[in-house]
Amino acid sequence: MWMIFVLIYGVLKGAREVAKKKSLERSTTMEVLFFYTLFSFLLVCPDAKNAMGVEPRMMLYIALKAFVIFLAWIFSFKAIKTLPLSLYGVLDLSRVLFSTLMAVLVIHETLTPNSLIGLLLVGTGLLLLKIQKKSGNMEKAAPLMVVCAFLSCILNAVSGTMDKLLMRTLNSSQLQFWYLLFLVSFYLIYILVTRTKIRVKESLKNPMIWLLALMFVIADRALFIANQDPNSRVSIMTLIKQSGAIVTILAGRFIFKEKNTTHKLICAGIIIAGIVVSVL
């Protein structure tokens, strides 16, 4: 059952990347980030009564997780605003390597033969992306934005590992409520300190921000429930999450009319094959 919850998270994660890129057509990065998290927090407020009773020590860890995501999303939004969505979707798959490494080193998970084969296939898909044959129509990606995408992957891997550790003590309502409250606070502090201009009316009229918040709340709740299952494993969960890459690549081709997506789709297919092998 926990695999189904992770699959729900993965598909919604891919759909969120599409919504992020669409939302940035009408709003700035910080406008989307702030209202995205604020709306998400408001959606979980009715469940606040189930979020009480968290120890001060655990509250500190939740705040740390929120700060990690605060940085990860800034890097992610900067990358996704510039890079083609299909390319970003495949680059985002590199978090598999980082998350698996952390699962082994921090949580001391043991990789099964199937997990190793799956990880090899995922790595092969990423390598094939790198050695794509050059052509006159090949898209050019700004090196700095590629670095931002990878930094986002590393920080998300840290957050994913923290989820598993935190859910040993907390319930999903506690983690989601306080994590979002801290996240909203961090973005508000950033806006005030940097004096970033925020257009409130325009942001409220951006339907993609509302859609992002709804998908985020549902996806994270599914992920936290999966993490609460003692049988769930971070290394396998990370591989299943990457099912969202198919969504981003298909959206890049059919919604944003991006070129050169066939090769990326083949790479993503190899990576998805690795996911299937790893969960068998």
Q: How far apart are CA 101 and CA 153, in angstroms?
A: 13
Which is more confidently placed, 278 or 163?
163
Report the pLDDT value the prediction gives residue 126, as an integer from 0 to 100: 64
In this prediction, residues 3-27 reach a mean pLDDT of 88
Nearest to 219 by CA among 247, 200, 191: 247
Report the pLDDT value the prediction gives residue 201, as an integer from 0 to 100: 92
Report the pLDDT value the prediction gives residue 237, as an integer from 0 to 100: 85
Residue 80 has pLDDT above 90, yes or no: no
38, 177 contact by CB (below 8 A): no
pLDDT-derived band of residue 89, with 50, 70 and 90 as boundaries? low
DSSP symbol at 142: -
Q: What is the DSSP string of 13-42?
A: HHHHHHHHHHHTTTS-HHHHHHHHHHHHHH
Which is more confidently placed, 44 or 237?
44
pLDDT-derived band of residue 51, with 50, 70 and 90 as boundaries? very high
| Crossing angle (nearest 10°) for helices 2-23 and 29-44 | 140
pLDDT-derived band of residue 104, with 50, 70 and 90 as boundaries? confident
Q: Where are the domains of the chain?
A: 2-279
